[in-house]
Chains A and B, each alone.
Chain A
Amino acid sequence: MPVHGKVVAAYGNMVTASFDESVRQNEVAYILASDGSKLKSEVIRVRGNQCNVQVFEDTKGIKIGDTVEFTGDLLVVELGPGLLQQIYDGLQNPLPKLSKATGLFLKRGVYFEALDRTVKWDFTPLAKAGDEIVSGDILGWVPEGKFTHQIFVPFNFIGKAKILKMADPGSYTVDTVIAEVENEAGKRTSLNMVQQWPIKIPLKNYEERLLPTEPLVTGCRIVDSFCPVAKGGTACIPGPFGSGKTVLQQLISRYADVDIIIVAACGERAGEVVETLKEFPHLADPYSEGRTLIERTVIICNTSSMPVAAREASIYTAVTIGEYYRQMGLHVLLLADSTSRWAQALREMSGRLEEIPGEEAFPAYLQSRIAEFYERACCVRLKSGKIGSVSVIGTVSPAGGNFEEPVTQGTLAVVGAFHGLTWARSNARRFPAIDPLISWSKYLDQMAENLNKRDPEWVNLIKQTQKIMFEGNEVKKRMDVVGEEGTSAGDFVMMLKAEFLDAVYLQQNAFDNVDAYNTLERQIYTFGKVFKILQKDIAIKDKDEGRQTFFRLTSLFRNWNSSEWQSDKFRKLENEVNAFINSSEK
């Protein structure tokens, strides 16, 4: 029996409601507007017998005295087979279904079940009658694309129970009862393939949390080699507008070597999601023959013109779905674009609540909210013994491209890797515009053991190379002041080497089918050659000649980069590279 209340004030998307009995913090309430629509909202503050609710919809027409229905449930997502390939809004409302029901525009107050109730799944039971179960135990599985989608006893199931009846193998819809269970108190419950989990509470049904040490390969050389991300780790990509954040995220969403990608378009342009939406069904999954990218993807799309409160919820929705698939021993990558828009949603709400503002009017709890969110990324050993992970790569859109602002700083404090994009690099058309001089990753040391498996010197080489980058940059800065004439030949070569490294290794051609993506194996191989050149003692007669030598080298390596791995062309160019490395010419 839901508790009822009345609207006593409304401003923007915040409504104040009075209630008689009791309400829970963060429970879902519906406002029954006078035009008959039911508007979903969430309780965000309780004071005496009044509470503030943030409305996830347009609030036009709300009147004093409108009924508020408190549901007693927290904001939840539906979990079960059929999440993949879906396009949801921030509250897990399926957008294509909405489009069928309400036409071209979103209509407020229309909600659908997140999982299709008509699709049948081939269920294979793994538990049997008589088994004792607790929350998170596996009842059986269904195939979902290439994945074995495990059906769990709901994670919010309380206590121990015994299975009375278990469904036979067969084809069922998600809401068909597959198991009857009875708990110790004799209470019977029917379980099906759908379960719910509150989005703001991390799903912690695992044995232990592990230190992330396995590299997550994105295919982007500067990331994987210099500022790597771990499976179960976190990274942030701040950058001013036009520096290529979204292009970089799109590339990562295509090539990252994880099982499942969750794209959370949080308060960004709708046009960008459309590209993912329309192209993924036609792009081949690089990790499984004959499948398309959309089969491993879930899209959460709450674009900039959609209601702000739902934007706040959208990244939690996304991470909860990620945690669910992690429970199956899968590796999930969540791409959140952009967390600044999410922080702005917090700021708007905080302003309406008339809270005392922190820096740039962001709420004082911004930092802890950011930390809470990124901490949901983790690598875990499950009860089944399998390892699963959720990694989070979030973009940040700092105002004016200034990294000193609260969202960027709050994020940097909690993430494991930082990939800073700058206008200087993007204007010089250096893609990806990640600035190697400011970016860092804590995972380089943390994953050293795994990274060194292929090449025992790897981490060492990378660190030496970083030094060369810094030295090259120093020379360049000096050269801007004293000119080429005042630079010694040795320094000049150092600068050329740093430029060469940048041109052939740090930069990548996103439009070249081969160069857009490099496996770790290829990265290590190519880098070995690049490093040999960096180490080679190259004496030059004059600066023009030195420049010419490096022009030639750069062009050679660029061609090498765009040739198919181990093809004839690849080997032919490699021979030329080797010839240079082994040459004694000075």
Chain B
Amino acid sequence: MREIITKIDEITGNIATLKASNVGLGELAVVMSPGRSTPGQVIRISGDSATLQIFGGTKGISTSDRVRFLGHPMQVKYGESLLGRIFNGSGVPIDGGPEPVEEEIPIGGPSFNPANRIIPRQMIRTNIPMIDLFNSLVISQKLPIFSVPGEPYNQLLARVGMQADADIIVLGGMGLKFDDFTFFRRTFEASGVMNRVIMFIHQASDPVVECLLVPDMSLAVAERFAEAGKKVLVLLTDMTNFADSLKEISISMEQIPSNRGYPGDLYSQLAARYEKAVDIEGLGSITLLAVTTMPGDDVTHPIPDNTGYITEGQFYLRRGVIDPFGSLSRLKQNVVSKVTRKDHNDIMNTMVRLFSDCRESRNKIAMGFKVSKWDETLLAYGSDFEKEMMDLNVNMSIEDALDKCWEMLARHFEPMQTGLKNDLVTEFWPKKI
């Protein structure tokens, strides 16, 4: 039995320091106050004192509270019975159900050996044309959704969760408002996918340290399922809250901030999580979609900026639609027209190019220039494109979406005006009846 310490020397922010011997870095401890107990993790040891990061926050903790060290680092439950369950940032069920009896696995495990990685070549279908057709999501890809508060990013994430062809969905919520949490829960339950969803939810009112654990727990569980051959999709929202929590902790640890108060290791911290996305040869995979709200819609802010260097592309969610210009999936060339239909690549480029021409025509009008016949054609095409493709409510398979694109092109243009290759036009251009 490990000794119980009854004297805490220092409490600042979410950090507590106490005298303790024989504790390891990263070890878990429980602080027992009358009426409640909260876990904490050793983040610094020095001589005979240990510094704890208290997950439940230090509010109300007394210097005479009892602290017990558990002899192991933070763990999370893993097993089939987690499916359909909801946990908080400390891994405790918050859906009213019983504590699952399962194996406990460590979180924040080591990095995947790069030599074991393979070039990903499978697509994840989401039935959202702006993703499938224009910026295909590839297995093992890590993609952020750059957005600003107020945009329907959680709705988008929920739709991807409902419709994506994944075996298991892990949702990690960080700083989630109660309304959003309920929305996710209801949506997954109503659509009947809850039985393959696991949720780790840190609510906005929960202690900030728990927020830091959410991605680690979600990814540790996902990693084990992937090793067991499952195709896992991890949805994280919102990584900006995660980064802000990092900032808060590092400042209270008196670390020197680097850029706008964020710690110097922000890049490494984010990368350690995002790099968990993997396609394991012959086994399962982890694909990661994470919301990053950009403070002040500024992509050069340290959070989106560091994220952009880590992830394989980005989706911009602006004014309720996925912007076809800034958005980019770096891995799409691995699947486009290789595992998808052969007209995919040309259709994708042509549609976006014509839409960009339409924007120019709109600018022309805005500046009061004369509108030509060609401009009018483009304008008509553009508004149809927005209604029938870009709208987030459009729901169709990529094959249907491709057919729809051909139909739209035929509605507005002559084959020659689109610049599409002749052999594709002969094969796919809708015949006039």
A residues touching B (Cβ–Cβ < 8 Å)? 8-11, 16, 34, 58-65, 87, 95-96, 98-99, 102, 104-108, 240-242, 267, 269-271, 273-275, 277-279, 301, 303-306, 308, 341, 344, 347-348, 351, 354, 357, 360-362, 397, 399-402, 427
Contacts and interface: CB of A to CB of B under 8 A. Distances in A.
A11 B259 CA distance: 22
Contact of A105 (B109, B119, B299): B109
Contact of B265 (A275, A305, A344): A344
Contacts of B116: 99, 104
Contact of B255 (A108, A271, A351): A351
Nearest to B276: A305
Given A304-B267, A348-B264, A351-B255, A63 B47 contact: no
Secondary structure of the A contact surface, majority rule: mixed
29 contacts: A34-B24, A61-B26, A64-B23, A98-B113, A104-B113, A105-B113, A241-B309, A242-B308, A267-B267, A269-B310, A270-B114, A270-B275, A274-B114, A274-B118, A303-B114, A304-B271, A305-B268, A308-B265, A344-B267, A344-B268, A347-B258, A348-B265, A348-B268, A351-B265, A361-B256, A399-B259, A400-B299, A400-B300, A400-B301
Nearest to B312: A271
Nearest to B326: A427
Interface in B248-298: 255-259, 263-265, 267-268, 271-272, 275-276, 280
Most buried by A among B255, B276, B325: B255
Contact of A397 (B109, B255, B309): B309
A60 B113 contact: no
A278 B312 contact: no
A187 B64 CA distance: 67
Most buried by A among B25, B325, B331: B25
A62 B44 contact: no
B316 to A, nearest CB: 12
Nearest to B141: A271
B101 interface: no
A399 to B, nearest CB: 6
A345 to B, nearest CB: 8
Contacts of B280: 104
A64 B73 contact: no
Contacts of A357: 256
Nearest to A301: B114
Interface in B108-122: 109-120
Interface string B115-132: 111111000000000000
Contacts of A400: 299-302, 305
Nearest to A102: B113
Contacts of B397: none
A62 B24 CA distance: 5
B274 to A, nearest CB: 8
B21 interface: yes
B65 interface: no
Contacts of B24: 34, 60-63
B112 A270 contact: yes
B264 A351 contact: yes
Nearest to B20: A64
A275 B258 CA distance: 33
